[in-house]
């Protein structure tokens, strides 16, 4: 299914999405020493594209792909997402684990917001799936668009250099730092993940909650970013450049701090 055309985050690429992901993951060494990767698949275009692309790269790097889907029970049709992912994985011959949780109930019990609770339960399940499968890493379908939105989200919350890095290609898995969270398609935009699905003849699900403006990230996506793009059509690329500069600065500070530590 193809909805309203999405704005380009970066200038149109001169190579295929697969080649760009291959170069990005090689540069960041995301698949180093991995024998199995759990791919978080919601059913949306981004995560479906991530599954398709990692399935292509798995043989090159010698790792196995396992899909994992978590049903948050936040929408009446969420069961359809679960069925879609299960059927897709069967079609692709990819093992699939599914889990579920009552986010609204858990949010009330923990006294946390719905977004934070959903994130916490989802990562708990992904950690469980990785441990059950003997995988050292969980891959998500975060894109360059998510990266841009995260930088702005951190900015409005008053973050420093650490937050201005946005989404990192690799980081400890939340709640389970012994496992890695990797973002192999962070160099692609949403228009490209849709194109990957369409080229493969694979459908994807639309999450209606992504259009709801009560969530800060959705307001950034649908209100703030369009206004910034009116002021500067290259706003996304500028924000990505800021994030990369912050990442390099933070790395330099960490290295300097390490060198300053007294040695025995």
Alpha carbon of 81 to those of 50, 170, 177: distances in Å?
16, 27, 28
From 18-27, 86-95, 212-221, the region with the lowest mean pLDDT: 212-221
Residue 70, pLDDT > 90, answer yes
The pLDDT value given to residue 4? 39
CA distance 263 to 251: 20
Question: Which residue ranges make up each domain of the chain?
Answer: 17-259
Q: Dihedral sign, CA of 248, 254, 259, 260?
A: positive
Q: What is the pLDDT of residues 49-63, one digit of tens each?
A: 999 999 999 999 999
Residue 203, pLDDT > 80, answer yes
Q: What is the pLDDT of residues 13-41, one digit of tens each?
A: 558 999 999 999 999 999 999 999 999 99
pTM: 0.89
Residue 235, pLDDT > 90, answer yes
State which CATH number among 3.90.420.10, 3.90.1300.10, 3.40.50.620, 3.90.226.10 fits the domain covering 17-259: 3.40.50.620
Which of 53, 9, 15 is CA-nearest to residue 141? Answer: 53
């Amino acid at each position: 299914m193809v909805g309203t055309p999405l704005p380009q985050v970066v200038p149109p690429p001169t190579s295929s999405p697969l080649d760009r992901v291959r170069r990005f993951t090689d540069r960041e060494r995301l698949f180093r020493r991995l024998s199995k990767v759990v791919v978080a698949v919601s059913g949306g275009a981004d995560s479906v594209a991530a599954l398709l692309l990692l399935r292509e790269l798995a043989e090159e790097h010698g790792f196995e792909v396992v899909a994992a889907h978590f049903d948050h029970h936040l929408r009446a049709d969420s069961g359809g997402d679960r069925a879609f992912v299960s059927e897709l994985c069967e079609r692709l011959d990819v093992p699939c684990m599914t889990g579920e949780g009552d986010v609204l109930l858990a949010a009330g019990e923990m006294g946390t917001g719905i977004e934070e609770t959903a994130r916490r339960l989802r990562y708990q399940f992904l950690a469980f799936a990785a441990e059950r499968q003997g995988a050292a890493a969980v891959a998500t379908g975060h894109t360059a668009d998510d990266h841009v939105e995260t930088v702005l989200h951190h900015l409005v919350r008053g973050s420093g250099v650490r937050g201005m890095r946005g989404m990192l290609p690799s980081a400890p898995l939340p709640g389970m730092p012994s496992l890695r969270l990797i973002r192999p398609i962070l160099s692609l935009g949403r228009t490209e993940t849709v194109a990957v699905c369409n080229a493969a003849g694979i459908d994807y699900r639309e999450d209606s909650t992504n259009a709801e403006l009560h969530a800060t990230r959705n307001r950034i996506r649908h209100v703030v970013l369009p206004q910034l793009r009116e002021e500067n059509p290259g706003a996304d690329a500028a924000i990505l450049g800021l994030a990369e500069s912050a990442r390099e600065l933070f790395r330099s500070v960490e290295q300097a701090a390490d060198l300053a530590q007294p040695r025995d």
